[in-house]
Amino acid sequence: MTDPADPFSEQRRHDGVKLVRAEGQDVPLLLRLRDIKDVCNDTQSFSNDNPLMIILHSEAAVRDVRQLPIESDPPDHTEYRALVEPRFRRPKAPEYQAGIGAIIDSLLDDCLGSAEVEVVRGFALPLQSRGLAQLLGVDESEADLWISWGIHVFRDNELGPKGSELDRYLLAKIEEARESKGDDFFSELNRAEFRGRKLTVEEKHGFANMAFAGGRDTVIHTVSGVIAYVAQHPEALEFLREDANRINTAAEEFVRYVSPLTVITRTCPHATEVLGHEVAAGGRIGLCWPSANRDETVFRSPDQVILDRKPNPHIGFGFGPHNCLGQHQARAILRGLLRAVCDRVERVDLIAAEPEIEQESSYSRQVGYKSLRVRFCGR
C-alpha cells in the first residue's frame, strides 16, 4: 500500500488536537495515543450513549436503531456485551481458524486461475462476507446477498443508500429465528436475556445492525491494503516465510498502519476542557485512531511497515471497555490471509490502484482503495 500521508502529524507534535467541522460543530480530535487511552477509560466524562452519532457525521439518514453494545456505557454496556462476547471469541479457536483458511483457499483458487483480479470487490468483500457468515453461524450462501450490498452496508459509492434494505433483512432473520433452538446469531439473540427479561426487538435489531456494520469496510480496506503492500514489496513474502511467528506480528502491523477507521466520537455529558479546548455539555470530541497509531513518541519509524514490529501497542481495535468486539475475527482473517498467500503465492503483480480518499473540513487521508487490480502468481 502506498504510504498514505499522515495529515495529523503537525498538530500531534504541537498540541495533540486537530479541529474538524461536523454536524455544525468544531469537534476537537485527540491525536496522541496516551490522551486517547485516557479518554477511552473515562466513560463518565466521555460517553458512547449517543445513538447515531458514534462517527463524525450523524447516521440518522441511514439507520434509526441504537447499535449495541457500542452505543451504550457501563454498566449497561458491560452486560449487553457479555451476551454476545462468547460468539465473538470463537475466532480464537483453531477449528474456527481452519474454516476461515478454507474460505481464503477457495478465493485464492479463483484468483490464481485469473489473469486479473479486482481485489476490493472481487476478493476482500467476499472474504469479509463469507467470514461473517461463519461467525454468525448461518449458511455461507447468505453471504451472496451481503456481497451485493457493496463495501458499506449503509451506503456505497456505486450502489447508493441502502440502510433500509439491511433493516428489512435483519428484522426478517430475527423473526424467522423466533422459535429456533439453533446455534446461529439470530437464534441466540431471541434466547438472550438482559437483567431477567428477553431482549426487545429493538435491542436485537441493534445487536444485529452492529454485527453487520462494524468491521465491514474496515476489514475490506485492511485486506486490500495487505495485498497492495505485498504487490509493491515483493520481498515481504519471503521475509514472512522465514519465520512463522512473523505472520502474527505482520497482521498487527497492518492493522496499525492502515487504520481505516479515522474517528470515533464521544459525547461530553457535562462541559469539560480537553487539551485546552472547551467542550460544552452535549458537545463531542473525536478519537483519531490513525494518528495515535503513528505517534512518534510510541512507535519507532511510524510511517514504515515493520512486519516484525515488537512491541506494537497500536489501538487499531480501539481501547478500554468499548474495544472492538470483532477484533478476533479480523485477526483470524488477516493471519489466515498472510499465511495462505505465503504458502501459495510467489508474487502479486500490481496492475492499477485507485486510492479511497476520505475528505473532511480539515484533513484528507487514504483509508483504502476504491479499486485495486492485481495478478496473483502461484508458487
Find the CATH number of the domain harbouring 189.
1.10.630.10
User: For residue range 206-229, what is the model confidence (pLDDT) as tens digits?
Assistant: 999 999 998 899 999 999 999 999
166 belongs to a structural domain: yes
270 belongs to a structural domain: yes
Residue 185, domain extent: 9-378
In the numeric block, which cell numbers belong to residue 63? Answer: 439507520
3 belongs to a structural domain: no
Which H helix or E strand runs over 288? strand 284-288
Low-confidence ranges of the chain (pLDDT < 50): 1-3, 159
User: For residue range 98-134, what is the model confidence (pLDDT) as tens digits?
Assistant: 999 999 999 999 999 999 999 999 999 999 999 999 9
Residue 215: the pLDDT is 86
Using CA atoms, how far apart are residues 239 and 31, in angstroms rounded to an integer?
A: 32
Residue 152: the pLDDT is 78
4 belongs to a structural domain: no
Using CA atoms, how far apart are residues 83 and 72, in angstroms rounded to an integer?
A: 14
In the numeric block, which cell numbers belong to residue 67? Answer: 447499535
Residue 153: the pLDDT is 74
2 belongs to a structural domain: no
237 belongs to a structural domain: yes
Using CA atoms, how far apart are residues 45 and 17, in angstroms rounded to an integer?
A: 18
From the number of C-beta atoms within 10 Å of its C-beta (0-12, 13-18, 19+), residue 169 rates as middle
CA dihedral 143, 149, 155, 156 (to 10 degrees): 110
Residue 305: the pLDDT is 98
- Domain total of the chain: 1
Look at residues 259, 248, 214, 232 and name the one whose alpha carbon lies nearest to residue 337: 248
Residue 56: the pLDDT is 96
Residue 1: the pLDDT is 43
Look at residues 226, 217, 261 and name the one whose alpha carbon lies nearest to residue 247: 226
CA dihedral 269, 274, 276, 281 (to 10 degrees): -10
Residue 2: the pLDDT is 39
Using CA atoms, how far apart are residues 13 and 141, in angstroms rounded to an integer?
A: 49
220 belongs to a structural domain: yes
* pTM of structure: 0.96
30 belongs to a structural domain: yes
